[in-house]
Amino acid sequence: MRENRLTGDFGEYFVAMHFNRNNFQTDIIDHTGIDLMCYQNEKNVQYGISVKFRNIDNGNNSIRIPTKEIVRCYNAAIRRGAVPCYAFGVISKEIIAFRTITLNTLLENHGYIGVEDINNINTDSISENISLKAIYEWKNKSKLDESILSVFYDRIKIER
């Protein structure tokens, strides 16, 4: 099995476990557009999450999302009555981290009005920064920014 596939599958299960441990019912659906459905009945919230995980030991510093994938995420989540979201994550020999943000926030961060602009994205893709500097900012900013749904960060040591 290719390393990229293993990293992606690991990311989906890791994000699912994180939401499950935070009182969400989580289903791995791996459907076109979204990978997870997360429900929290007490708060009446549902998230349709597309998970993007990368191994940054390979020199990856960004995650590129084609515009048509963004539209697929939006459509798949809306059809299920869920808020469309992205979980961006990284793993290396030293850290594992991810953050989950709404699609609305992702689009606003890239200069769009939000999901109202879903059909007006004027580029073929959007890139999300996953450099070590960006990851440290996720960790620190999450305490102040309510648009970030969740952040997980941990230092790890992988020994051979």
Q: Say yes or no to pLDDT of 52 above 90.
A: yes
* Residue position matching structure tokens 């969400």: 24
Question: What pLDDT does 147 receive?
Answer: 55
Q: Say yes or no to pLDDT of 160 above 50.
A: no
Residue 22 — very low, low, confident or very high, per pLDDT cuts 50/70/90?
Answer: confident
Strands of the 34-40 sheet, one edge to the other? 25-31, 34-40, 45-55, 83-91, 95-102, 148-155
When the pLDDT of each residue in the chain is averaged and rounded to a whole number, the result is: 84
Q: Say yes or no to pLDDT of 134 above 90.
A: no
Quick: pLDDT tens for 62-79: 899 999 999 999 999 999
* Residue position matching structure tokens 């007006």: 120
Q: What is 3-155's CATH number?
A: 3.40.1350.10
Checking DSSP bridges between strand 95-102 and strand 83-91, what pairing results, if any? antiparallel
Each domain of the chain, given as residue ranges in start order, spans 3-155
Quick: pLDDT tens for 89-122: 888 888 888 888 899 888 888 888 878 878 878 8
